[in-house]
Amino acid sequence: MFGPDLFATLEDGRLKSSVGTLYPRHQVLVTWPPMHALQREAFKDWFRATFPAEANDQKLSWEAAESVDLIFAPGGEVLIRPELERLDLAFSADRELQEDWGVALQHIRFLSVREPRVRQALRERGELWRISARPAGHEGMGEAVARSRVAIEEQAIYYYNPHTGTRFVTSADFAGLARLPDKELARQLEEIAAHCIKRNRHGYPEVAFFGVDCLRFGAPNFVAPNFRLMEPEALRVAHDALARRFFDATPAALREDGAHNREWLLHMASVISDEHLKDTPTAEVQAPGSEFAPRVRWLPGGAFQEGEFVFSQVLSGQDLEPADPELKDLWDPLARGFITNFIREHGNLEYLNLGRIEAPGGEDQRGGRRGVFLAEMKVRDEVSPRVLVLRVLRWGIRERLAEMDDEGRPKSLVQAIFDTEEYVDYTLDRRLGCLQFGMHLPARLNMRRATEVYRGDRPEFDGKRFPVIYFERDYCLGIPSNKIPERKLAEPRYALALARLLGKAAAPNLVVGRSRDAANGVDPGETLFDDGDEIVIESADGLPRDLILVDHSGAFADWRTPSLDPFVRRYALPVTSRYGLLPDPGAFGEEYLRAFREEFARIRADYLRRKTAFDGLFKHLPYHDAGSFACRWDRVLQRLAATKLDDLVRNIRRCITFLKDPPRGAD
């Protein structure tokens, strides 16, 4: 090693060096000087001294190119910036960092992951979890920006982008150099001048000026002056003139540094991340705007080596939550069970990645379990990978054991198992009922079982392994209806096609009373529709062609309300909530109501024509007024038969205040 130890810090806590250059072939790591370009020069000096007979210019250039750029982050994390044409070097460096330099696997991440080749290489190794995550939220962005602060050899005035290697200096920081003594000011200006005209081996500038109009201020302003030879007074005048030009070339919103300036923070978080590559296709299953994006936390799984699956050493063999807080977010008690099920069923897998869907608002407070997972696996001899969604049963054995029986005693294990199986049947019966009404649901839904070690409030079961039931379906590559981009809604043909699909989907959704359970189990709960579970599928021409409800949870939750009229305002929202985004809100609303009327009329006519078939579909199930599914089905059918469609549509229309009244006798 040449330079300070990895993660060595100064007195103020900053890293002595935030970058390193690793030469896997020679097992040499250079951490000083604090720039990759200068570190390569240091390596060349070492090579000349060590192999004088081989140290010609061609050999030196070749050896220097056999290197990997590293970025060191506080907390012991190393980021690898791979060369697209030499990904083998990046993975050699990965292995060497672990074996020779003692860096834990979970502390090594990869940059440039928007590049399809990098992402695909990690995907094929089953290591999507090692992607360096982009900061989220105001606090996360503020922390990322603060951590990016680095020095070259003088003051720590730069914000570093690890993806490109560029260091950004702001107008406020540049003006603040006036506080430095004369000699330090001269050295700092010389440093900026020397590096702003250079580009690194990736083609990006070593130093750039944050937020400026480059035609008004930039590297050309630093070509002529030799700051170290200036007299102090002339130096101050030159710096003041440069600071004024920098200030004038910077937008007003970006002239004040700090996380309190939201626009500055957003812009800085963008320039120090990989947002410069935002137009590069990600080749990722959860593309921006699609189902679950961007809430997937990829988990360590493992990789196939010579046909055998080897679990990741990070969590290998662990059934219990790790004590190490850094590993807790990477651990899930069901992960190994999911993976082994895939291997049992598909013995010829090439790779497998498993991710957990993070709840956007934190943990659900309504009880039960809300586990949702995403799996991507490549079966040998198949052209494309399979992408699957795994949803854990909300009320399983663990959850039932936390309940009381009818006599107020903790439920027995036998009762918990019976209640779980009954809930499985209820879940599948709800799906069958939705399909009977013509709802567009995923074509395939399979029930699977994994196991987990019980860690709950019942000590008599502590350490026992219980089955966990989950459902597996195909991933739906589309756009949630409530996340359609404004530019798409502004296109008249797109808007009308969407209105038709939403109106058609609203009818069966209303019929089955899809809602979130009310707290008292009696009053209507929160209606669920157009809230992220409806996925819009586009055709080749870019227009909506289908809408699929990917999660039918909440169906038949409201079965007590005798009339559908209490829900009309909620089913007007798909129109009213888009009012300001549509080229013709009136046409959108009329198309929505027309499609709703047609589909509701079809469902009702189908029921009345085949009443015996509908009424008898769940006759074999137990019937009790407390809410057995047979009872819910019966009440929903009675409500459907009693509904006056003209009145229902008219009431929804009245909630869409900007629609004109229909001609008399029509809706």
pLDDT of residue 250: 95
Q: What is the pLDDT of residues 336-364, one digit of tens each?
A: 999 999 999 987 888 999 999 876 544 44
Which has more confidence, 119 or 568? 568
Mean pLDDT over residues 386-413, rounded? 94
In this structure, which amino acid lies at residue 372?
V
pLDDT surpasses 90 at 279: no
Q: Give the range among 387-401, 510-524, 651-665 with minimum mean pLDDT.
A: 510-524
The DSSP secondary-structure symbol of 386 reads E
Helix-, strand-, coil-residue percentages of the chain, each rounded to 5: 40, 15, 40
Query: Which residues partner with 174 through β-bridges?
Result: none
- The residue written with tokens 């009145």 in the block is 647
Q: What is d(CA 498, CA 486) in angstroms, rounded to the nearest whole number?
A: 13
Three-class DSSP category at 19: strand
pLDDT surpasses 90 at 411: yes
pLDDT surpasses 90 at 199: yes
| Contact status, residue 333 vs residue 319, Cβ threshold 8 Å | yes
Max mean pLDDT range (75-84, 212-221, 361-370, 646-655): 646-655
Query: Which residues partner with 9 through β-bridges?
Result: 15
The class (CATH top level) of 481-655 is mainly alpha
Mean pLDDT over residues 579-589, rounded? 96
Using a cut of 0.95, tell me whether the model's pTM lies above it: no
pLDDT surpasses 90 at 610: yes
What separation in angstroms does the CA of 280 have from each of 224, 463, 490, 520? 38, 48, 24, 50
pLDDT of residue 280: 38
- Please give the structure tokens belonging to residue 362: 């934190």
275 confidence band (pLDDT: 50, 70, 90):
low
pLDDT of residue 366: 55
Q: What is the pLDDT of residues 242-262, one digit of tens each?
A: 999 999 999 999 999 999 999
- Please give the structure tokens belonging to residue 625: 């007024």
Three-class DSSP category at 305: strand
Mean pLDDT over residues 71-75, rounded? 84
Which one, of 627, 633, 667, lies nearest residue 648 by Cα?
Answer: 667
Mean pLDDT over residues 180-197, rounded? 95
User: CA dihedral in degrees (656, 658, 659, 660; nearest 10)?
Assistant: 140
Q: What is the pLDDT of residues 528-577, one digit of tens each?
A: 999 989 999 999 999 999 999 999 999 999 999 999 999 999 999 999 99
Q: What is the pLDDT of residues 295-323, one digit of tens each?
A: 788 898 888 887 788 888 776 656 677 77
646 confidence band (pLDDT: 50, 70, 90):
very high
Which one, of 213, 113, 205, lies nearest residue 165 by Cα?
Answer: 205
Q: Are strands 372-379 and 349-357 parallel, antiparallel or unpaired?
A: antiparallel
pLDDT surpasses 70 at 522: no
The domain locations on the chain are 19-277, 296-474, 481-655
| Contact status, residue 220 vs residue 246, Cβ threshold 8 Å | no
| Contact status, residue 111 vs residue 162, Cβ threshold 8 Å | yes
Which has more confidence, 358 or 15? 15
Q: What is d(CA 555, CA 67) in angstroms, rounded to the nearest whole number?
A: 57
β-sheet with 534-538: strand ranges across = 479-480, 534-538, 544-549
Percent of the chain with pLDDT over 90: 68
